[in-house]
């Protein structure tokens, strides 16, 4: 199996310390802190370990502090409710004795009901599009050292952007982008694994959508970006080892915060999941920060 994919699968497999207490390892993706998607995926995995015969349909989380990728993270699960149809769990991710994330997740066995969805955006398919890692490798020698470490990271999924990434084309444009994604290798038939992996990668690409309507050259104008919160809804069954279209937009940015939304479509056009995120996004002055 692809090394990056196998590494993330290992990260999402938590060690059970007590009935409601779990520990997960961390890894470095080239950013100054733990990747937010790792904490989200592990927190959902911890919550799911305390629920039987119900699948998650939504999660809502707040990032409280940057995580340290040199240390493991402990997840404390509170079994808030087990009702006739729904179960709810609250998870606190702790590192160095302090919470770094609060997450609430809801689980449901599924019911029959009405069915509708938005149409999938009409964009080119993944065939023939360049891989993100090839695009990044082509410019890695021309970017600052801090950005070079991030671009050198190998994600667990293959990404193929429909539009040119912002670090390639800094011009202002409408705040919408589309990225095809798929796991590098075929995965086991385990819906929980596919949901946890989608939770992990839902933090890729999303917040950067809020930079698109602004002319920004990241190599010359530093920008501070950090997730504040994250929400994710699972609508229909899916596999992350089949192509998924991640359609992102940013309705607004104001007050040093950007708001972004995303929808995941299967290649056949089914809307399988939706996400939303608000994050810090503002010009960064290294001298003032120092």
73: enclosing H helix or E strand: strand 73-82
Decide if 264 contacts 274 (C-beta within 8 A): yes
* 227 catalytic residue (yes or no): yes
The tokens for 41 are 């995926």
Query: Strand, helix or coil at 20?
Result: coil
The answer for residues whose C-beta is within 8 angstroms of residue 276's C-beta and 6 or more apart is 230, 231, 259, 260, 261, 262
Q: CA 215 to CA 91: how far, in whole Å?
A: 39
Query: Strand, helix or coil at 135?
Result: helix
> Which one of 45, 95, 106, 203 is the catalytic residue?
203
Decide if 76 contacts 243 (C-beta within 8 A): no
The tokens for 140 are 């890695």
> Which one of 38, 45, 227, 253 is the catalytic residue?
227
Q: What is the DSSP letter of 185?
A: S
Q: If we measure between CA atoms, which residue out of 83, 73, 123, 130 comes closest to residue 103?
A: 73
**Strand order across the 244-254 sheet:** 15-18, 21-24, 73-82, 86-95, 98-108, 55-63, 223-234, 271-283, 257-266, 244-254, 176-183, 157-161
> Which one of 132, 202, 266, 277 is the catalytic residue?
277
Q: Which residues are catalytic?
A: 203, 227, 277
């Amino acid at each position: 199996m692809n090394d990056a994919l196998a590494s993330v699968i290992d990260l999402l497999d938590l060690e059970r310390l007590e009935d409601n207490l779990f520990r997960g390892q961390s890894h470095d993706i080239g950013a100054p802190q733990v990747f937010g998607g790792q904490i989200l995926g592990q927190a959902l995995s911890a919550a799911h370990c305390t629920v039987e015969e119900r699948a998650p349909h939504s999660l809502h989380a707040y990032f409280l502090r940057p995580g340290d990728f040199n240390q493991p993270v402990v997840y404390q699960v509170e079994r808030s409710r087990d009702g006739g149809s729904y179960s709810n769990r609250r998870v606190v991710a702790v590192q160095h004795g302090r919470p770094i994330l609060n997450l609430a997740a809801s689980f449901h066995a599924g019911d029959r009901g009405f069915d509708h969805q938005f149409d999938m955006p009409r964009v080119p398919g993944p065939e023939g599009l360049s891989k993100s890692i090839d695009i990044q490798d082509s410019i890695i020698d021309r970017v600052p050292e801090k950005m070079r470490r991030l671009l050198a990271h190998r994600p667990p999924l293959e990404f193929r952007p429909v539009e040119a990434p912002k670090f390639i084309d800094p011009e202002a444009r409408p705040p919408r982008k589309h990225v095809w994604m798929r796991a590098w290798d075929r995965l086991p038939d385990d819906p929980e694994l596919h949901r946890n992996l989608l939770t992990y990668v839902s933090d890729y690409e999303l917040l950067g959508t809020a930079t698109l309507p602004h002319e920004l050259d990241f190599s010359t104008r530093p920008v501070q970006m950090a997730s504040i919160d994250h929400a994710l809804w699972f609508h229909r069954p899916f596999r992350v080892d089949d192509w998924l279209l991640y359609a992102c937009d940013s309705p607004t940015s104001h007050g040093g915060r950007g708001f972004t939304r995303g929808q995941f479509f299967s290649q056949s056009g089914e809307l399988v999941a939706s996400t939303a995120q608000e994050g810090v996004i503002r010009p960064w002055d290294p001298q003032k920060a120092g």
